[in-house]
Amino acid sequence: MLALTLFGVFFVVALAGVPLLFAILVTTVGIIWFQGLGHPLETIFLSFIGGVEPFILLAVPMFIFAGELLAQGGVGKRIVEFARVLFGWLPGGLGVVTVISCTLFGGVSGSAIADTAAIGSLVIPAMVARGYSRGFAAALLAVAGTIALLMPLSIPFLVYAFISGVSMRTLSMAGLVPALLSALALIAVCMWHGKRSGCDNGESRSTPAQIWAATQAAGPALLMPVIIIGGIWSGLFTPSESAAIAVVYGLAVSLFYYGDLSWRRIPQLLLNAFVTSATVMLVIGATGAMAWLITVEQVAVQMADWIQVVATEPWMFLLLFNVCLLLLGIFIEPLPAMLLSAPLFLPLAKHFQLDMVHVGVMMTANLAIALYTPPVGGTLFVAARLAKVGIGEITRYLWPLMAATFTVVMLVTYLPQLSLWLPRLIASF
């Protein structure tokens, strides 16, 4: 079966330490040569170029740059202070503040890595000083940072909208309820840990004056997703145009309102965004080439025949889908994992008459787990570096946090109304 050969070769090459971009290309070209499929290599080149040509992908580098601006421009510390003033009195207060700060900043940046780095540099020293272990602080940050992927400005949502053809404005709202459920689940774990360890019984409640001051300081930052999503829903601008507006708004807030960012730092932030964007685009191009091979060789049809034998009911397909995504996510970051798996699974999801918006939220929520599981674990490594602790120490504290988020993934999988209720409600007005 070509599907097993394709993914078997890819995993062998990737686990051998070959960079992801080259692992995808080597697998694609190697399968064509080894199987004697006869496809000209020029087709691979054209598929690669075609994969990065769609206009909607212009939004990716601009959203990345906007995230860089906000991460470095003082927005993070004001969001953390806003969350502390409102929720720091709860048991496990600093942990709760970390989760809420990551959720709010995720709604601004749309990037889990930017979320983890911006919030972690502020909360980890405070958590350690309060008595939290470095392992728990890093584990919580690594998991909470991934909530950004389910917030309205999520970059994976943008890529999924491009792959599946669903509306980005619908996706932007569909992830909000699952994101809040994930935050609530992590908050419950933080409160349990704070009581159990006795390290954090909460602060005294803030006064109305303190709450008002924190709201004023964080207000311009928190207003950004409202402006962007409101513009998309009202039809004032497209997702690509919204990314440009996010950059302009981020510059205005960071340079002129807060004044925490100088013009001299802009070139370095542009360079950082360029490097990240180039990496993303190269992987998108490579997965476009592999997706072409998957399509032309009818790999999806072969898998559909096999899955229909194994999974005869939608709930069985969803379970198998989750397992495959979890296994894939262990080795690959969410964006390339989505680009690789979507051409295979979306036709199957349509066969079982699943809603494509629901499938997009489920895929994103599932693949977000990959960001805090070894050996890839993007947010895991960022949190480990910030907390100055080893991966083994973090893993000890990951299990209850992972159980909380995985429970939410299962709820999102089997209760599609959690994803679809809010966009349908807004569309009805």
Q: Is the pLDDT of residue 76 over 80?
A: no
Band of pLDDT at residue 92, cut at 50, 70 and 90 = confident
pLDDT of 186 reads 93
pLDDT of 73 reads 67
Of the listed ranges 108-117, 145-154, 353-362, 383-392, the one predicted with least confidence: 108-117
Q: Which residues contact 380 (CB under 8 A, 6 or more apart)?
A: 142, 371, 372, 373, 374, 391, 394
Structure tokens at 376: 């890839």
Q: Which residues contact 392 (CB under 8 A, 6 or more apart)?
A: none
Q: What distances in angstroms separate CA 385 from CA 79, 216, 364, 391, one per listed residue?
A: 22, 32, 25, 10
Distance in angstroms (rounded) separating the CA atoms of residues 387 and 276: 23
pLDDT of 202 reads 66
Q: What distances in angstroms separate CA 275 from CA 65, 155, 175, 267, 378, one per listed residue?
A: 10, 16, 28, 12, 16
Q: Is the pLDDT of residue 90 over 70?
A: yes
pLDDT of 301 reads 65
pLDDT of 82 reads 82
pLDDT of 1 reads 61
Q: Is the pLDDT of residue 41 over 90?
A: no
pLDDT of 304 reads 63
Kindly give the interhelix angle for 417-427 and 356-368, rounded to the nearest 10 degrees.
Answer: 130
Of the listed ranges 109-118, 130-139, 249-258, the one predicted with least confidence: 109-118
Can you give the pTM of this predicted structure? 0.78
* 27-40 tens-digit pLDDT: 888 887 777 777 77
Q: Which residues contact 348 (CB under 8 A, 6 or more apart)?
A: 300, 303, 304, 307, 317, 321
Q: Is the pLDDT of residue 318 over 80?
A: yes
Q: Is the pLDDT of residue 400 over 80?
A: yes
Distance in angstroms (rounded) separating the CA atoms of residues 156 and 378: 14
More confident residue, 393 or 361: 361
pLDDT of 299 reads 67
pLDDT of 2 reads 66
The whole-chain average pLDDT of the chain stands at 80
More confident residue, 328 or 147: 147
- Tell me the average pLDDT across 85-107: 84
* 181-197 tens-digit pLDDT: 999 999 999 988 888 87
* 276-308 tens-digit pLDDT: 777 777 777 777 777 777 777 766 666 666 776
More confident residue, 11 or 139: 139
pLDDT of 347 reads 80
pLDDT of 291 reads 72
pLDDT of 404 reads 92
Q: Is the pLDDT of residue 375 over 70?
A: no
Distance in angstroms (rounded) separating the CA atoms of residues 2 and 372: 31
Band of pLDDT at residue 155, cut at 50, 70 and 90 = confident
pLDDT of 319 reads 86
